[in-house]
């Protein structure tokens, strides 16, 4: 009988590659087949797959070839290459037997054509024990590193990048960090998750997966991404890991870990968001969860959200819809009750009337409405945010161009070879191309928004509408108002401009 062989090998971890490389296995299997007169009909090598699962590409291919009669003997270096899951390995051996397939395990000295199966169960059990013990050792080592604040995830959180000089250390990505700051600021201003996502999408800002080029699932910002960023304490400079784990060493299924078991190490990297800003966002998030009628979608914030504060306790005033009418109440009262502060409840309609009345007083003081518009426009600082982004992009472009220049000199001096230079310079060139694309989009945006006269005419019309109480919107409030404080007997107003 002519034996037609399928040679199977496997490696799983970097640790194992040092001893059980595919090359070593391949050479040993070929030699055995040739020495024993086997015809080799297929090579099946799984690289980077755990032995605890049999859902491996080459095992699946091997089984197909067995069914179509392409091979009648399987040769492995040892049984642990087949697998380290005792029940599944025994089932696979049974599958081979039922299909009349001979199995040879070189290092174990086992040949199913000649030997009994008495000790196979014990051997596969020991292989599984090895896998389980190795899993425990790896988990212990990783947990120790995490407890020291080392960042071990595959990708850095949006706003950061992995340091190239310090292993397992995060450092700030200047451009993405600016976007993170803007997300927190927009949330404090009253925009909802979906509203913020839409703003970033309309501006052409790349979402985290597109910016970091680690996923092609979606190029769009969505509300869940914004929510994750708002809730993530990594932006305070803290390392938060061990939030999920595998169900068992045999499974790839991840399960959530209770928050009390998370590994939190403070001040492991530079913060992007300060404590006050982060806590303010968490308080807003908490209050919105308890208010089913809070408008937090794409329509944006309420008129006075983020501009209205309680004079007594300093907490922001929260919006509440009562029978179709908008009111604002002290955040301290909402969260802690009357033992902390009183409600200081005031209607949105009353606030609009008071604001219009204050502006009319300025008009009564013989101040020209055109002069008022000029003063408001001066304080608007329309392109400041865009300028900050451009500066950050220019810094990143400069850094990456310098890196290519350094590599070119290293190539000329023979420090790195041509292949390495092409690979590295190609990576940096992609980054430069991406940054140039973002830069050009920003420049177009700035140019389109810098028509001074159009902005002033818009302001003039909106102020006239407010004075006549015809109509008003959030954009005008943002232009003219810096802060309002609600006292028991009066309302204090601080405008976003100096009196002309």
CATH of the domain at 13: 3.40.50.1390
Would you mind telling me the total number of residues written for the chain in this entry?
500
Element containing residue 73 per DSSP (H, E): strand 73-76
Residue 282: inside a domain: no
Domain interval for residue 380: 375-495
CA distance 360 to 356: 6
Of 81, 99, 134, the domain-final residue? 134
pLDDT of residue 360: 75
Q: What is the pLDDT of residues 270-297, one digit of tens each?
A: 899 998 889 888 888 876 655 444 444 4
pLDDT of residue 119: 52
Residues sharing a CB contact under 8 Å with residue 9, sequence separation 6 or more, in sequence order: 22, 25, 26, 29, 44, 45, 46, 76, 77, 81
pLDDT of residue 71: 93
pLDDT of residue 194: 82
Element containing residue 122 per DSSP (H, E): helix 120-147
CA distance 118 to 121: 7
Residues sharing a CB contact under 8 Å with residue 353, sequence separation 6 or more, in sequence order: 469
The torsion angles phi and psi of 54, rounded to 5 degrees, stand at -105, 10
Could you tell me the strand order of the sheet in which 308-310 lies?
308-310, 481-486, 491-495
Mapped onto helix, strand or coil, the DSSP state of residue 491 is: strand
* Three-class DSSP labels, 302-354: CCCCCCEEECCCCCEEEEEEECCEEEEEEHHHHHHCCCCCCCCCEEHHHHHHH
Residue 248: inside a domain: no
Centroid of chain to Cα 482: 33
Which structure tokens are listed for 101? 């397939």
pLDDT of residue 382: 45
With both helix axes pointing from N to C terminus, report the angle between 193-203 and 174-189 in degrees, rounded to the nearest 10: 140
Residue 318: inside a domain: no
Q: What is the pLDDT of residues 294-324, one digit of tens each?
A: 444 434 567 888 789 999 999 888 888 888 8
Residue 322: inside a domain: no
Of 111, 134, 157, the domain-final residue? 134
Which structure tokens are listed for 63? 């089984």
Whether the pTM exceeds 0.85: the reply is no
Residue 238: inside a domain: no
CA atoms within 13 A on the CB side of 35: 8
CA distance 102 to 71: 10
The torsion angles phi and psi of 345, rounded to 5 degrees, stand at -65, 135
CA distance 344 to 304: 15
Element containing residue 400 per DSSP (H, E): helix 384-412
Which structure tokens are listed for 432? 């430069």
Give the angle 239-244-248 at the CA atoms, nearest 5°.
Answer: 135
Number of domains comprising the chain: 2
The closest alpha carbon to 192, from 229, 223, 220, belongs to 223
Of 134, 150, 180, the domain-final residue? 134
CA distance 463 to 28: 85
Give the count of beta carbons closer than 10 Å to the beta carbon of residue 279. Answer: 12
pLDDT of residue 122: 47
The closest alpha carbon to 222, from 292, 293, 297, belongs to 297
Residue 394: inside a domain: yes
Which structure tokens are listed for 369? 């409405």
CA distance 85 to 92: 10
Consecutive 10-residue runs of the chain (500 residues): their mean pLDDT? 91 57 85 92 88 87 93 90 79 86 86 66 50 55 69 82 85 86 87 85 84 68 89 89 62 70 84 89 74 45 83 89 88 83 92 83 59 53 57 79 73 71 71 73 58 53 58 67 88 74
Residue 227: inside a domain: no
Residues sharing a CB contact under 8 Å with residue 70, sequence separation 6 or more, in sequence order: 4, 6, 41, 42
pLDDT of residue 19: 47
pLDDT of residue 249: 45
């Amino acid at each position: 009988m002519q034996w037609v062989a399928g040679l199977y090998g496997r490696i799983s971890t970097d640790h194992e590659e040092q001893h059980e490389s595919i090359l070593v296995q391949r050479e040993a299997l070929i030699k055995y087949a040739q020495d024993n007169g086997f015809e080799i009909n297929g090579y099946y090598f799984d690289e980077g797959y755990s032995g605890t699962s049999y859902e491996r590409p080459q095992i699946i291919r091997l089984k197909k070839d067995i069914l179509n009669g392409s091979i009648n003997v399987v040769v492995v270096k040892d049984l642990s290459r087949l697998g380290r899951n005792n029940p599944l390995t025994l089932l696979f051996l049974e599958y081979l037997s039922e299909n009349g397939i001979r199995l040879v395990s070189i290092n174990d000295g086992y040949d199913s054509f000649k030997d009994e199966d008495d000790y196979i169960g014990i051997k596969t059990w020991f292989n599984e024990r090895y896998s389980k013990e190795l899993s425990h050792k790896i988990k212990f080592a990783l947990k120790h590193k995490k407890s020291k604040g080392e960042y071990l995830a595959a990708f850095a959180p949006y706003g950061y990048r992995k340091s190239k000089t310090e292993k397992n250390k995060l450092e700030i990505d200047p451009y993405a960090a600016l976007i993170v700051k803007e997300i927190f600021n927009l949330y404090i201003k009253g925009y909802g998750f979906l509203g913020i996502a839409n703003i970033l999408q309309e501006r052409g800002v790349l979402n985290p997966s597109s910016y970091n080029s680690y996923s092609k699932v979606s190029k769009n910002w969505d509300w869940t991404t914004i929510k994750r960023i708002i809730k993530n304490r990594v932006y305070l400079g803290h390392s938060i890991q061990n939030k999920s784990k595998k169900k068992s060493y045999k499974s790839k299924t991840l399960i959530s870990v209770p928050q009390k078991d998370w590994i939190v190490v403070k001040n492991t990297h530079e913060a992007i968001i300060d404590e006050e800003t982060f806590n303010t966002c968490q308080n807003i998030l908490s209050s919105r969860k308890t208010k089913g009628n809070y408008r937090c979608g794409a329509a944006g914030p309420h008129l006075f959200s983020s501009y209205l504060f309680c004079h007594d306790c300093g907490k922001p005033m929260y919006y509440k819809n009562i029978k179709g009418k908008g009111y604002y109440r002290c955040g301290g009262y909402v969260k802690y009750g009357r033992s902390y502060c009183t409600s200081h409840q005031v209607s949105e309609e009353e606030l609009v009337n008071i604001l219009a009345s204050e502006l009319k007083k300025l008009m009564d003081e013989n101040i020209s409405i055109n002069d008022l518009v000029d003063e408001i426009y001066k304080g608007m600082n329309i392109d400041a945010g865009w300028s900050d982004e451009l500066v950050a992009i220019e810094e990143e472009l400069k850094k990456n161009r310098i890196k290519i220049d350094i590599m070119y000199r290293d190539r000329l001096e023979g420090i790195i070879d041509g292949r390495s230079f092409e690979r590295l310079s190609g990576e940096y060139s992609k980054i430069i191309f991406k940054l140039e694309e973002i830069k050009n989009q920003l420049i177009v945006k700035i140019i389109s928004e810098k028509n001074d006269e159009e902005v002033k005419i818009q302001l003039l019309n909106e102020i006239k509408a407010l004075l006549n109480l015809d109509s008003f919107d959030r954009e005008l409030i943002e232009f003219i108002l810096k802060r309002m404080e609600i006292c028991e007997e009066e309302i204090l107003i601080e405008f976003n401009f100096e009196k002309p």
